[in-house]
Amino acid sequence: MTDVSLQQLSRRFGDNVAVRELNLDIASGEMVAFLGPSGCGKTTTLRMITGLLQPSSGDVLFNGKSVVDIPTERRGAVMVFQKHLLFPTMNVAQNVGFGLKMAGVDKKEINRRVTEILELVELPELETRKAHELSGGQQQRVALARALVVKPQVLLLDEPLANLDANLRITMRQLIRDIQSEMGITAIFVTHDQEEAVMLADRVALMFDGVLQQVGEPDAFYQRPRTTRVAQFFRNSNLLPGVKTGTMVETEVGPIELDDHVSADDGPVVLTVRPEEVRIADSSSAATNVVPAVIKSVIYMGTHTQLIADIGGSSWSVQAPATMTSEEGARIEFQLPKKHLWIVEDDSVSAAEEVAAS
């Protein structure tokens, strides 16, 4: 069992800072997702953990001991890449057992462990198949088996499901989660897909512009985003600026009352509430937090109707019942439930702009 600690970890490429002073502790047996848009530094971080890149500064610790000076092959961290990188001239068994062969493990033990791991990734009886004879999903399972068969201290996955179709991604997510949990391996993976991060990870580490923005359990990013950029990344563009006094916020569309769980200093604030938590006001609705809106578009989504509405000059997304009918330009009132309102920090200026200005 291995815990991982990243301490003031930074990586520069010339004048470009790809990762800036990243601090994160990952518990033994935990699965953590590095999430963020392309170019945010998540894959660079993964490569520093595995030893494929040397940090410009900072440290990587396994079980409290620095590994930055330990070569990749002796570090005990194994990486599964987005591209499978299977050896085309080898069959499945040879691909999976390659690492064991290089480590000098005897043939009988290699055969036993290869058979065992292929059962685990649900690929029994495919030992003699060549890589080109496998489907994309099967190739990804072979790559996963090759990583797991050496019993790594830390399993690293770089966008492992990006090349798979939607249905196969769902199957592979569950398989990876089941295997990781069963083997108790500390696992770290990179993805730009919020759904993938939420489904797989115990905790999510969200990065923008090389800076760690928020770390927490998946539901925190939906219900308690720290900043406006975090909220928007998790598909919540419902932002309403105002001025807070006590439990009331004065906004362009009237006063909004906050629940007791929301704590922030008085003064300018930005409110947010997720699209699925906004209610359509009717005659039975309480008068609290009812705001006027104008419908801009109506999109039928099968399980629900997606409304895009103008609220106080801002474009909001509201998830309404599938049976609802409305027209563009129609006036409507929404209710913002107190228990689902949250205050976020306004970070409209990106971290990169802030660094450039400093």
Q: How confident is the model at residue 341 (pLDDT cuts 50, 70, 90)?
A: very high
CA distance linking residue 81 with residue 337, whole number of Å? 44
Q: How confident is the model at residue 162 (pLDDT cuts 50, 70, 90)?
A: confident
| 311 and 259 within one domain | yes
| 318 and 274 within one domain | yes
pLDDT reading at 46 higher than 60: yes
| 82 and 55 within one domain | yes
pLDDT reading at 351 higher than 70: no
Question: Which segment of 162-171, 213-222, 272-281, 299-308 scores lowest on mean pLDDT?
Answer: 162-171
Bridge-partner residues for 204, per DSSP? 33, 216
Q: Identify whether the C-beta of residue 142 lies closer than 8 Å to the C-beta of residue 131.
A: yes
Amino acid at 206: L
- Report the b/e string of 294-323 with b at 16+ CB within 10 A: ebeebeeeeebbebbbebbebebbbbbeee
Domain for residue 148, yes or no?
yes
Average pLDDT over residues 296-308: 93
Which residue in 147, 159, 148 sits closest to 200, CA to CA?
159
| 313 and 203 within one domain | no
pLDDT for the residue 285: 54
| 141 and 68 within one domain | yes
Q: Identify whether the C-beta of residue 27 lies closer than 8 Å to the C-beta of residue 3.
A: yes
Q: How confident is the model at residue 286 (pLDDT cuts 50, 70, 90)?
A: low
pLDDT reading at 358 higher than 60: no
CA distance linking residue 17 with residue 58, whole number of Å? 13
| 39 and 23 within one domain | yes
Counting the structural domains of the chain, the total is 2
* CATH, residue 211: 3.40.50.300
Domain for residue 13, yes or no?
yes
Domain for residue 357, yes or no?
no
Torsion, Cα of 23, 12, 210, 49 (10° steps): -50
CA distance linking residue 107 with residue 274, whole number of Å? 56
Query: Which of 222, 255, 281 lies at the terminal end of a domain, its last residue?
Result: 222
Average pLDDT over residues 346-351: 65
Domain for residue 351, yes or no?
no
Instruction: Report pLDDT digits (tens) over 175-232.
Output: 888 889 888 999 999 999 998 999 999 999 999 999 999 999 999 999 899 999 999 9
Q: What angle do CA 211, 215, 219 make, to 5 degrees?
A: 135
Query: Which of 176, 197, 222 lies at the terminal end of a domain, its last residue?
Result: 222
- Strand 77-80, strand 154-158: pairing: parallel
pLDDT for the residue 312: 87
Spell out the alpha helix ranges (H) of 213-317. 218-223, 228-233
Tokens of 269: 């604030």
Tokens of 36: 């963020």
Domain for residue 358, yes or no?
no
Torsion, Cα of 267, 268, 272, 278 (10° steps): 80
Query: Which of 194, 222, 250 lies at the terminal end of a domain, its last residue?
Result: 222
pLDDT for the residue 207: 97
pLDDT reading at 350 higher than 70: no
Instruction: Report pLDDT digits (tens) over 82-92.
Output: 777 888 889 99
| 48 and 18 within one domain | yes
* CATH, residue 288: 2.40.50.140
| 166 and 60 within one domain | yes
Domain for residue 118, yes or no?
yes
Q: Which domain, by its residues, includes 96?
A: 4-222
End-to-end CA distance of the chain: 42
| 259 and 128 within one domain | no
pLDDT reading at 349 higher than 80: no
- pTM for the whole structure: 0.87
CA distance linking residue 69 with residue 48, whole number of Å? 11
| 329 and 283 within one domain | yes
Domain for residue 353, yes or no?
no
| 206 and 316 within one domain | no
Domain for residue 349, yes or no?
no
Bridge-partner residues for 187, per DSSP? 31, 155
pLDDT reading at 157 higher than 80: yes
pLDDT reading at 15 higher than 50: yes
| 119 and 80 within one domain | yes
Instruction: Report pLDDT digits (tens) over 92-148.
Output: 999 999 999 988 999 999 999 999 999 988 888 888 999 889 888 888 889 999 999
CA distance linking residue 11 with residue 304, whole number of Å? 44
Q: Report the mean per-residue pLDDT for the chain.
A: 90
Look at residue 71 and give its three-state secondary structure: coil
What number of other Cβ atoms are within 10 A of residue 60's Cβ?
A: 22
